[in-house]
Amino acid sequence: MTTEHGDAAHAGDPAAGRAPADDRGPARQPEADGAPVGRRLVLGTLALGALGVAAAPPLQRGLEAFLGAASDKDPTGLTQLLPNGGGFRYYSVAASVPRKDTSSYRLTVTGLVDRPATYTLAELRAQPQTRLVRDVQCVTGWRVPDTPFEGVRLARLLDAAGVRPDARAVRFTCFDGTYSESLTLQQARRSDVLVALRMQDKDLSHTHGGPARLYVAPMYFYKSAKWLSGIELTARVEPGYWELKGYDVDAWVGRSNGRSDDPTA
């Protein structure tokens, strides 16, 4: 198994971008039954979450640790509303997302290829796995440092499919039926772009886009499409769900936050 490590800030979650508020809609929570919560408690807790975003990294990490421990004891699910509850927020752009497992999950590779393919989850897990440890970065400002992702390099699946000379880009679709993303072919072939099957040393949960998601390490996290179901080779870049609402198509973290990441490396 190939292992790679880094500490540069990378990647934000699908609905976590900087589109106008009236376009973005509310973040959805994982399915859970919750008890009613008082207005003062909600406002106070959200204020605490905002403090974690604005504070220095040590305070942010302390808040995340506290909320991560508290979430298991929170029957209301209130910690899921916080920008840093457990380090991540849950986002979806669809009203509901079906669940897939080992028996039902399929990933297709189609479009401008010589050998279209369909992979089961077991077949993806049988491929050589690459592990990356990078920061996850959302365009709204929250960040989860040193987050491990593990999966199959996208370039390996493209090579297996036989990319045709007229292909210039890759379009990604998701089994939520709504979300989509795109990369140039050069971007897609980077060694830090994965079809991720594991995150934080655990199998990807449904909440985090499992059983497989795209992971584009050097870009904001909205490029890392959850619930990945289709990889299509195309003649040109087709803007994804959030790009059509005004997001950058090339979402390099290093170009917009002053860090020294080299997106061409």
Secondary structure (H, E, C), 143-160: EEEEEEEEEEEHHHHHHH
pLDDT of amino acid 47: 47
As a whole number, the mean pLDDT across the chain is: 74
pLDDT confidence of residue 92 = 66
Per-residue confidence (pLDDT) for residue 35, from 0 to 100? 34
Residue 94: the pLDDT is 76
User: What residue type is assigned to position 29 of the chain?
Assistant: Q
Contact predicate 167/235, CB 8 Å: yes
Name residues whose C-beta falls within 8 Å of residue 97's C-beta, 6 or more positions apart in sequence: 175, 176, 206, 227
* pLDDT > 80? residue 254: no
What are φ and ψ of residue 185, in 5° steps? -65, -40
Considering only 17-21, 53-57, 79-83, which range has the smallest mean pLDDT?
Answer: 17-21
DSSP 163: B
* Domains along the sequence of the chain with CATH: 2-19+96-255 (3.90.420.10), 29-89 (no CATH)
With a CB cutoff of 8 Å and minimum separation 6, the contacts of 36 are none
pLDDT at 142: 80
Q: What is the mean pLDDT of residues 12-29?
A: 36
| pLDDT tens digits for range 25-67 | 333 333 333 333 344 443 443 444 444 444 444 444 444 444 4
Mean pLDDT of 252-264: 55
Cβ partners under 8 Å of residue 126, min gap 6: none
Alpha-carbon dihedral 136, 138, 143, 149, rounded to 10 degrees: -20
Contact 163, 246 (CB under 8 A): no
- Cα dihedral 191/197/201/205 (nearest 10): 140
Pick from 93, 108, 112: nearest CA to 169: 112
Tens-digit pLDDT profile for residues 112-121: 999 999 999 9
